[in-house]
Amino acid sequence: MTPSHCSFLSDYGSVDEFVGVCKSVMLGFAPDLRIVDLTHEIPPHDVKAGALALVRSVQYLPEGGVVLAVVDPGVGTDRRLVAVEVAQGVLLGPDNGLLAPAVAMLGGAERVVSLANTDYHLPSPGPTFAGRDVLAPAVGHLAAGVALSELGEEVDAAGLVPGLVSLPQHDEGGAIAGEVWWVDRFGNCQLNIDPEELTAHGAVRGEPIEVRFGDQVRSARWVDTYADAKPSELVLVIDSYGLTSLALDRQSAAAACHLRVGSAVTLVPPGASVSDEPRGPDHP
């Protein structure tokens, strides 16, 4: 099936012309292509943040399209640029862990092609803008009906670079050591902790849970909505992606608690305790 739409994510930002040029290249090959801008405000070079934004998004994207993701601090090196075919469509980007969590979310790779056929690249004055010169043309050619196999050689899907997505660690005393995965524009701090983990350790909705970060020990009540929080009350909510978030009603929890992406946060459910040397988040 020839894709009719492309979902585009990058760390290019909106100040420079990078996004507009990439979109223009795609449309130059496929004028009827529809392009959805997921976000271009991924922090520069932050592959992990890009991977997490992508994995949050892909389950809601229309089937049968392509996804173009560009967060590529290794641009110009020997890292591969790949197109990964999954049941729902094709994901294109650098093979640096950016695509891997989304590919897993979508059921795994059915085929992986290394985008090495220069017949489908733009002439490049330099190697540092692969989004324009390799990836955007690949999207455009696919949307114009070129077969995926024409863009390069098929490679082993098992060789894809895995994503570095942190997992929470369970302390012997029952505490859960996690980290902030994402801070949204409202200042809510999404944690890498599933609410079922809290329930398994005795936490109950409506009741307080001890929260530790930095040198602070706070209490946060587990509530259903942001509006359930009292003024300036730190709360835990299940966010729109099903994970636990620290929040304040109509205020930034990140600013109030001095938290940022990657900050360590430990949740101590009722009856649990923290050992002298709690373990931090792990990576698969």
Identify the bridge partners of residue 85 per DSSP, sorted by sequence position.
90, 111
pLDDT at 284 over 60: no
The segment(s) of the chain belonging to CATH 3.40.50.10790 are 5-159
The three-class DSSP label of residue 147 is coil
Task: Please tell me the least confidently modeled range out of 30-34, 51-55, 125-129.
Answer: 125-129
- Residues 120, 71: contact at Cβ < 8 Å? no
pLDDT at 174 over 90: no
Distance CA 80, CA 89 (A): 20
The residue with greater pLDDT, 273 or 59, is 59
**HEC string for 178-192:** EEEEEECCCCCEEEC
pLDDT at 283 over 60: no
Mean pLDDT on 11-18: 97
Mean pLDDT on 207-227: 95
Residue 279, pLDDT score: 45
Residue 280, pLDDT score: 47
- Residues 127, 60: contact at Cβ < 8 Å? no
Strands of the sheet containing 111-114, edge to edge, are: 34-39, 5-10, 65-70, 89-94, 81-86, 111-114, 154-155
Range 169-268 classified under CATH 2.40.30.90: yes
pLDDT digit string, tens, across residues 60-113: 999 999 999 999 999 989 999 999 999 999 999 999 999 999 999 999 999 999
Specify the fold of 5-159.
Answer: Rossmann fold (3.40.50)
Give the containing element (helix H, strand E) for 5.
strand 5-10
Distance CA 47, CA 140 (A): 24
Residue 178, pLDDT score: 96
Note the Cα 259 to chain centre separation in Å.
Answer: 19
Residue 278, pLDDT score: 43
Residue 74, pLDDT score: 93
pLDDT digit string, tens, across residues 47-56: 999 999 999 9
Mean pLDDT on 148-163: 96
Mean pLDDT on 238-254: 95
Mean pLDDT on 127-153: 97
Q: Is the dihedral of CA 57, 62, 64, 68 positive or negative?
A: negative
Residue 277, pLDDT score: 47
Residue 125, pLDDT score: 87
127 class by beta-carbon count within 10 Å (0-12 exposed, 13-18 middle, 19+ buried):
exposed
The segment(s) of the chain belonging to CATH 2.40.30.90 are 169-268
Identify the bridge partners of residue 8 per DSSP, sorted by sequence position.
37, 68
